[in-house]
Amino acid sequence: PRIVTMAAAQLGPIPRSETRAQVVERLLVLMRDAAARGADIIVYPEAALTAFFPHWWIEDEAELDSWFETAMPSNETAPLFAEAKRLKIGFHLGYCELAHEQGRKRRFNTAILVDKSGAIIGKYRKIHLPGHAGHEPWRPFQNLEKRYFEIGDLGWRAWRTMGGVMGLMICNDRRWPEAWRVLGLQGTEMVMLGYNTPQHDPAMPQTDPLQDFHNHLSMQAGCYANGTWAVCVAKAGVEEGIMQIGGSCIIAPSGQIVAQALGRGDELVMAACDLDACTPYKETMFNFARHRRPEHYGMIVER
Ligand code: ING
């Protein structure tokens, strides 16, 4: 067995009035609890440092930029890296990244993987951006990720670190089998992802009662079809008037949910994950070398 003890650190709402320093305090409480319970890695949600501002129409550029991190670690997040190094615990953190690259401002919905020495091992920038780019006042709330973020330019990658092959995706990516398969083709044994998912979908209100089902369906299928574990972490609860689903969970390569959150607040969900449990699926049912037929898959990558 190759046991990696994982902690899903679900967050309750982050009010827009809550400072990054106050949020980092909440992250530290969860990190210390996870370390005390033997966690090797703690996984925080998508956009874990602020309210999920893509739900709002923001016209002022300075106001929009105030929701982004211009450095990682930054002054506010440095205590998180320091504590992780002291506790010898790795972590995943979702945040909104403001970079100056290619001579211009670039904004991404980003996640990083940090090892037990506090080093950033991997970074991912969200590729599947849901929602819409313009103000749609008919909606009770917006999803303006297509406006506020660029499409990620780093691909879906996996890194061999902390005892296994670890890969990242973010939120809406989890609904797209292609994201899971690109990670699966790299031998990923542990996927980490965060999400901010409203209970109400203004475009498809008939699916509101199915949000938790669709959430778990997507991720359980992704794990099974690629023989990988996943740690999936919500920012949950009523955040600035919008109810977001919880359901943070740890999923085995069998597709079984081995542990999940009970509430919609700050909550730790733990499991000792045997990465060797991936091997039977990768070597038999989903042995890509033996069974996969890419010569018939062309339509999947046609525009
Ligand atoms: N959130 C949502 C998600 O994919 C969404 C967006 C909600 C799309 C409901 C469709 C229906 O879980 C993010 N941030 O992608």
Model-wide pTM > 0.95: yes
Average pLDDT over residues 28-34: 99
Is residue 249 among the annotated active site residues?
no
Using CA atoms, how far apart are residues 265 and 6, in angstroms rounded to an integer? 19
Q: Which residue has the tokens 């919905």?
A: 109
Nearest CA to ligand 1 atom 5: 197
Query: 65 falls in which pLDDT band (50, 70, 90)?
Result: very high
**What number is the ipTM of this complex?**
0.94
Q: Is 165 left (phi over 0), alpha (psi -120 to 50) or beta?
A: beta
Contacts of 138 (CB under 8 A, 6+ apart): 202
Asked whether 54 and 131 are in contact (CB, 8 A), the reply is yes
Report which ligand 1 atom has the smallest distance to the Cα of 170.
15
Query: 59 falls in which pLDDT band (50, 70, 90)?
Result: very high
Structure tokens at 67: 């929701």
Given the residues 69, 97, 171, 273, select the one marked as catalytic.
171
Of 216, 175, 169, the C-alpha closest to 192 is: 169
* Per-residue pLDDT, 147: 98
Element (H, E) at 29: helix 20-36
Asked whether 171 and 196 are in contact (CB, 8 A), the reply is yes
Nearest CA to ligand 1 atom 8: 130
Using CA atoms, how far apart are residues 268 and 260, in angstroms rounded to an integer? 9
Contacts of 79 (CB under 8 A, 6+ apart): 24, 28
Query: 201 falls in which pLDDT band (50, 70, 90)?
Result: very high
User: For residue 98, with 0-12 CB atoms within 10 Å meaning exposed, 13-18 middle and 19 or more buried, which class applies?
Assistant: middle
Query: 193 falls in which pLDDT band (50, 70, 90)?
Result: very high
Q: How far is CA 36 from CA 4, 41, 260, in A?
A: 15, 12, 19
Report which ligand 1 atom has the smallest distance to the Cα of 145.
14
Using CA atoms, how far apart are residues 131 and 54, in angstroms rounded to an integer? 9
Q: Please, what's the b/e burial string for 133-170 (b: 16 or more CB within 10 A of its CB; e: otherwise)? A: eeeeeebebbbbbebbbbebeeebbbbebbbbbbbbbb
Contacts of 173 (CB under 8 A, 6+ apart): 126, 127, 128, 156, 179, 193
Given the residues 126, 145, 189, 273, select the one marked as catalytic.
126
Q: Is 280 left (phi over 0), alpha (psi -120 to 50) or beta?
A: alpha
Q: Which residue has the tokens 């008037």?
A: 241
Q: Give the residue, out of 195, 199, 212, 214, with the most ligand 1 atoms within 8 A of its beta carbon, to mutate for a pocket test.
A: 195
Is residue 126 among the annotated active site residues?
yes
Residues framing ligand 1 (Cβ under 6 A): 130, 143, 171-172, 175, 195-198, 201
Per the DSSP assignment, residues forming a β-bridge with 231 are: 192, 250
Q: Distance, CA 53 to ligand 1 centroid (Å)? A: 13
Asked whether 153 and 126 are in contact (CB, 8 A), the reply is no
Report which ligand 1 atom has the smallest distance to the Cα of 215.
12
* Per-residue pLDDT, 247: 98
Is residue 46 among the annotated active site residues?
yes
Sheet-wide strand order for 104-114? 120-125, 104-114, 90-101, 41-43, 3-10, 267-274
* Per-residue pLDDT, 117: 97
Nearest CA to ligand 1 atom 4: 172
Please state the separation of Cα 204 from the chain's center in Å: 23
Nearest CA to ligand 1 atom 1: 197
Query: Tens digits of per-residue pLDDT, 79-127?
Result: 999 999 999 999 999 999 999 999 999 999 999 999 999 999 999 999 9
